[in-house]
Structure 1
Amino acid sequence: FVQANFSGASITVHFSFDDMRGANFSHADMTVVMANQSMGLIRTEFNSANLDGANFTGAGLGHVAFRFAKLNGARFVGADVMSADFTGAYLTGADFTGAKLQGATFESATLTGVRGLEAR
């Protein structure tokens, strides 16, 4: 799946240890579980994708773009989201408990009820 283009696709999937470096899921409508996905997501794009309720628990999501994505209720518990871009993302009720957040951008994101973003 390296640099694959899934933009605009409707996808129901459980990824586990797949290499998706540079893949494009922009504008995709996804039901997704990427729990413990520890490799192969660097520079992947989920811009404007519908990922409401997605499970990214323990996933490696460094440098991933989630600009304007719908991530309401998504779980990022223990995930590595260092330098990820959540600009304008909808994150109502998302959970970042224990996530690595260094360098992550949340500019203009909707953060109502988000857990785990408290000052550390």
Structure 2
Amino acid sequence: MKRTFGVAALGLALLAATAQAQEMMRDVDLSSPDMVSAELTRAEVETALAAATAAAPADFTNRRLSGLDLSGLDLSGAIFRAARLNKTKLTGAKLDLAVLDQAWLLEADLTGASLKGANLFASQMLRARLDGADLSQARVAADLTGASLVGASIAGANLGVDMRNQSMGLIRTVLKSANLERLNARGADLSRVDLEFASLKNADLTNASLKGAQLGGSDLTGVTFIGTDFDGADLASAKVSAPIGLDQAKNFDRAKNRDRLIRE
């Protein structure tokens, strides 16, 4: 008999290990009402926001908000811990300093949204759309497989693995097969991030850290690498064409599989 897991149980698994949680997702019914429905209306969300204060921010912990149109709302500082926001429309929304830890944002639309300083720890954001979004200074350890961040900013953001907090398994940001073209990643920590098969065409990685990152099969055409740290990065089958400032990168000689780079 096939086992199924509730959202709360899976949330614990996310904290245990990202890879294990992704395996468990196969046993989660993503079409269930718990994952696709909303228990609040936009008007009720707006009422909660209006009643919020700096000391008592709007709290949507574990609430079902999937499929709602919350575009343009100011959700700054709101708490969405373990909330379901699958296919929710958040275009142009302001989520600065919001807490989205363990939240579900599968195929959510955050085009042009502001998430400056937001927290996205163990969040599920497969195929989310964040084109033009601002995640500068955010703390991200989420699964963004297949997501789109065209022209987005993660400047100064921390997407790296905190090895001091891995007693229950490796939790890291996954950007596998993501569209990161024209991404502003200046000064971002991308250490140990999974960027396999991602497109980073014309991205700006000035002074970013790629320590231990997985870049296999990625497209690095036209990327700016001034001051980028490649220590331990895996470059197997990565495509490098017309790079900017690669000669000014740090520890490029310490990257793995440099002999397997595809240079054009």
Task: Tell me the TM-score normalised to structure 1 length.
Answer: 0.90
Q: 1:51 aligned to 2:180?
A: yes
Deviation at 1:114, TM superposition (A): 1.6
Deviation at 1:17, TM superposition (A): 2.4
Give yes or no for contact 1:99–1:116 (8 Å, CA) kept in 2.
no
Extract structure 1 runs of 4+ deviating beyond 3 A. 116-120
Could you tell me which residue of structure 1 aligns to residue 154 of structure 2?
34
Give yes or no for contact 2:138–2:154 (8 Å, CA) kept in 1.
no
> How many angstroms apart in 1 are the aligned matches of 2:246 and 2:236?
13
> How many angstroms apart in 2 are the aligned matches of 1:6 and 1:79?
23
More helix by share: 2
Amino acid in structure 1 at the alignment position of 2:176: N
Could you tell me which residue of structure 2 aligns to residue 88 of structure 1?
217
Provide, for residues 21-72 of structure 1, a one-character-per-residue CA deviation record: whole Å limited to 9, x for no partner. Answer: 2x011101223101111x3543201000011110101111100111000110
User: Aligned to 1:14, what secondary structure does the other structure show?
Assistant: coil
> How many angstroms apart in 2 are the aligned matches of 1:114 and 1:20?
27
Bigger RCO of structures 1 and 2 (CA < 8 A, at least 6 apart): 1
Alignment of 1:1-120 (within 5 A): 1-12=120-131, 13-21=133-141, 23-31=142-150, 32-37=152-157, 39-42=158-161, 43-118=172-247
Deviation at 1:89, TM superposition (A): 0.3
User: Which is greater in Rg?
Assistant: 2
Amino acid in structure 1 at the alignment position of 2:156: N
> How many angstroms apart in 2 are the aligned matches of 1:17 and 1:57?
11
- The share of aligned pairs that are identical, in percent, is 29
Identify unmatched segments of 5+ residues in structure 1.
Answer: none
Amino acid in structure 2 at the alignment position of 1:106: L
Deviation at 1:75, TM superposition (A): 0.8
Task: Tell me the TM-score normalised to structure 2 length.
Answer: 0.43
> How many angstroms apart in 1 are the aligned matches of 2:238 and 2:231?
17
Length, aligned pairs only: 118
Give yes or no for contact 2:159–2:191 (8 Å, CA) kept in 1.
no
Range with greater deviation from structure 2 (39-48 or 84-93): 39-48
Give yes or no for contact 1:92–1:110 (8 Å, CA) kept in 2.
yes
Amino acid in structure 2 at the alignment position of 1:29: S
